[in-house]
Structure 1
């Protein structure tokens, strides 16, 4: 495992978190040089493509590519080329937003992702057919999601930026990135970890889970279509998709609940906490989606920004990051830090509660919570602070290991 790849991914995550913190404090103090929208684009791109994408890249190569092919320079060169595109977006988006330079680096990242998908598909060596199916499905949805990005060019060129098509293209990309590529990839890694803990899902139950999840994934995009075109059949289709997603969770965990509980008891406290953190985030995400079957709630979910941000963070910081930390700490124990993880989780839970509570206040017409922006900003400090602790823990442990190796 190339620890440098994970280190770079975590540094990207820290930078994205600091960008997000800056956006929160922009509502507390005046920051004259900050363009909020441009910084927001930078924050989201670095979090998605600099942290999650590159962490998944590192784990996929480490777990699913034979050692002899890992040693060849291809994957290393492609990783650093991809990181170069991330650095380009890191610099250009806060300065100019969507413009020539940032679009160029974004395009380079997409091209690199195509090359990665093509090469790793050829090199995959996975004995477990369930993990193999999840990995291949995640790569397919990664490719599908980019259709939304390519559609944005013609939409903007034909002066349709103010039409629903523009937002539909963006939401298409985000939906299949988060719930397709990222979620399925993390599930593949977690299922592999479950197998290492002697937790095995029968093929019958797995296929039911997979079919339910993918069907729900496709149908829940109709929530965005319903927002754009407000047709009853679109609303009902999304409602069916949400029900299928909840059924998928049941089929994934219920048949192996006894095995999971037995494996859960013998894990260390940090692993148990992160597993529950990811699971509860996933359940909260689906429960929030289930609430959208009520027309009044479905209407306000796309209007009140607090709900939208909270929902995105449930997926990205809760489910995906929580379970990526499980894999990271199991694979590279040097980074395993209780303090950093605890600070990060506390910051996440606190900011999510504040976001959703303020959204509820807006919905009820009760106005703003006392010192809402100040409290949200200062609680958000815990997120990058937790990452700093995790990084310092990993770096210090690596230094100690090198010194021990030298003296021995």
Structure 2
């Protein structure tokens, strides 16, 4: 267990670096910064998804299905290879963007991710493989592998058509879509079901499989939301709308299941973990509605024209839906301990920074007056997020190793 806690501390350290890079990116609009903005964006996004979320989720999955006392040597080697690639990307992207070394380390990460998927699919004990949680985790791992087609395509597109090609953007959107909506969210849902199954809470199988097939169909078809900025033929709008509606139907089934079992599930969670998951669920509901609206041509064009809406949406999903759920689960499994002060510091930074980002998009759209010192305020508010993460990490490093937290 102690070794897995070290893995989470490493993931938190990456998250701290991501937050610091986020503040640095805000500073570009305040004062001259002697680094390449686009290169920092690449480092920021890669370390966010692969350093924080990927490592945290994979560590939780290992904790769910394997012994907490002995960490498999194969998993240790995969973890080492993964971190070599993440560190390589973190120190190469800021200086060269997409170039030789960053591409090498990105490729190394893809290989490590395939090994991780193989490890879980092959070595998870058979007694778990018919559970609802494993159905979700297995599908999530498949989406992780599927999403990697995007980065592989990027290399070929850059070498032939260049970054200005629409295919370059589509490859990036393909990767992000199946990472966010497939790998991350389905894996987190699997964790939630695991907590329920662990204490013998009954999950209605008919309702679960209805949710499961709806969400998978929704994930596939909602990818077409990512192509509407091209103003494609009408069939693509219909496919995108179908994907968005399938997502709504899927999460209607999901929230119905959770409503039925929440009374018993909440008894297994700490107050902070339950609150974090409730807020994450609220953010998820808003995310689903935003996807539904984006299927309409007016809103699809609006989001393409004003990139603040896209940036706000991605941060809403990353900082709200995904990271809040991760904090809740990490707290539940005793990987970290979050107190109310740390909780409110993070949530305040998240809510206020999101409000400012969406406000700027609305301001540009409606041609309103921007707040005086808007960018300075955004820098200060955004700094609350790395500060809160730094406090959580510092407190976690001080903690003594303890057993699993049941409550």
Residue matched to 1:72: 72
Counterpart-to-counterpart distance in 2, 1:361 and 1:26: 20
Separation (CA, whole Å) in 2 of partners of 1:170 and 1:114 = 19
Q: Secondary structure at the match of 2:372?
A: coil
Alignment map for 1:334-349 (pairs within 5 Å): 334-349=336-351
Cα deviation, residue 67, structure 1: 6.2
CA positional deviation for 1:127:
5.4
2:176 matched to which residue of 1?
Answer: 174
Contact 2:39-2:97 at 8 Å conserved across structures: yes
- Flag the 1:113–1:266 CA change in 2: closer, same or farther, 3 A: closer
RMSD of aligned C-alpha atoms?
A: 2.0
After alignment, is 223-232 or 296-305 more displaced?
A: 223-232
Counterpart position of 1:85: 85
Cα deviation, residue 82, structure 1 = 0.8
- 2:388 alignment partner in structure 1: 386
The match for 1:316 is 318
SS at match of 1:29: coil
Alignment of 1:327-406 (within 5 A): 327-332=329-334, 334-398=336-400
Deviations 1:201-248 (A, max 9, x none): 211111111111111111111112222252211112111211111111
After superposition, residues 1-400 of structure 1 pair within 5 angstroms as 1=1, 2-31=4-33, 33-65=34-66, 70-125=70-125, 126=128, 129-196=131-198, 199-261=201-263, 263-264=265-266, 267-332=269-334, 334-398=336-400
The number of aligned residues is 399
Output one character per residue of 1:113-163: Cα deviation in whole Å (capped at 9) or x when no partner: 111111221101225521111111011111100111111122122224322
Cα displacement (A) at 1:321:
0.9
Q: 1:127 to 1:234 in 2, by over 3 A?
A: closer
- Call closer, same or farther: CA 1:258–1:72 in 2, change over 3 Å: closer
Counterpart Cα distance in 2 of 1:159 and 1:188: 39
C-alpha distance in structure 2 between counterparts of 1:255 and 1:50, whole Å: 32
Deviates more, 1:173-182 or 1:369-378: 369-378
TM-score by length of 1: 0.93
Partner of 2:405: none
Per-residue deviation, residues 271-326 of structure 1 (Å, max 9, x unmatched): 22201121011111111112223321111112211111111112111111111111
Compare 141-150 and 197-206 and name the one that shifted more.
197-206
Structure number with higher relative contact order (C-alpha < 8 Å, ≥ 6 residues apart): 2
Residues 279 and 324 of structure 2 are in contact (CA less than 8 Å); yes or no, is this contact kept in structure 1? yes
TM-score, length-scaled by structure 2: 0.93
What is the alpha-carbon distance in structure 2 between the residues aligned to residue 300 and residue 256 of structure 1? 34
Gaps of 5+ in 2: 403-407
